[in-house]
Amino acid sequence: MCCVILSCWGGFNPSAKPNFIDTSLLGNVRISITLAGTDIIGLRANAGAFAKSYTVDQQAFSVDVISIGDGFYDGMVDQMLASGAPMEIPFKNYFSYSGDLANGAVPFNVASQSIDRMWGLTRLDDYTTNDNNAKHLAVTNYVEAKDLVAHTPAAFTFKQNGHEGFHFQVNNTLYPQWTSTYSDDWWQHNKLALNDQGNMLAGSHVNTLGAYSNNFFIYVCQLEHRTDGDERFLSGIDTRGAAAQCYFKASGAATAAATTTVFAECTSSLRIFSNKVLEVVQ
């Protein structure tokens, strides 16, 4: 028996600002949750010998409701919408693209008012049928035992896969302008992009370069201006009008057949007009 609690997820919730909204302005609201396939289940032997399956039952969902009874807030919103000015709610939006980094680059197009970050990660192609520690998970050629990761499911194992010199390209501009062949440079670049400089309260984290390169590899590049506050502003790359031709690029030969996935983290805006007229600005 396993109990799973989803307190937050990426996207509109919890990134929307303000973080509460009068749903009477929107009409009916539907929240859809898509479950992953059975390949996310990790086993300690060849997955072909086992029948992977799971079910979700006894679901419960709770929502906090805020009530302002004096009518001041409602009157202020009604007056603003009646004047023709929309209520604008920015939120995080994510677009994903797949390709083969063995070709030297994964091309993709993004049309957004603000590209905030780009993420690149690589997973071996046989992750759906093979969950063997020896192939996917064991870290070799490291002296210290702490560099070994005993087990992570193949679906959640991401590898450097022989590549190096990572960077993103947006039109004719490289982000970052430099490349490196050292995994500690990539790791540090990720920490700067995520504003995670030794924050032990930030959740799970990588402890060694060996685990990072062979089990939890990802490359992140920040394209927005970040402050320590919670301001609402758009400061990423604006590619509206003409979708930017982008690439996730790397050098080096792939060590195994794999698929690279790129995520473009953007700030979109939900604009609410009177009479429940809605518009999403990507």
Q: Domain 12-281 class?
A: mainly beta
Q: Is 75 helix (H, G, I), strand (E, B) or coil?
A: helix
Contact call for residues 235 and 222 (beta carbons, < 8 A) = no
Burial class (CB in 10 A: 0-12, 13-18, 19+), 229: exposed
User: What is the full per-residue pLDDT of the chain (282 aa) written as tens digits?
Assistant: 455 566 666 667 667 777 777 788 887 888 888 888 887 777 655 545 566 788 888 888 777 787 777 777 778 888 888 888 888 888 888 999 999 999 899 999 988 888 989 999 999 988 877 665 444 444 444 444 455 566 677 888 899 999 999 999 998 889 999 889 998 899 888 888 887 655 555 545 677 788 888 888 999 999 888 766 566 677 888 888 777 889 999 999 999 999 999 999 998 888 888 888 888 888
Residue with tokens 């093979």: 130
What pLDDT sits at residue 128?
76
pLDDT of residue 145: 47
pLDDT of residue 269: 86
pLDDT of residue 271: 86
Q: Residue 107, preceding bond cis, omega within 30 degrees?
A: no
Tell the residue number behind the tokens 């749903």, with chain if given: 23
Domain ranges of the chain: 12-281
Report phi then psi at 125, rounded to 5: -70, -25
User: Hey, how many other C-beta atoms are within 10 angstroms of the C-beta on 103?
Assistant: 11
pTM assigned to the model: 0.81
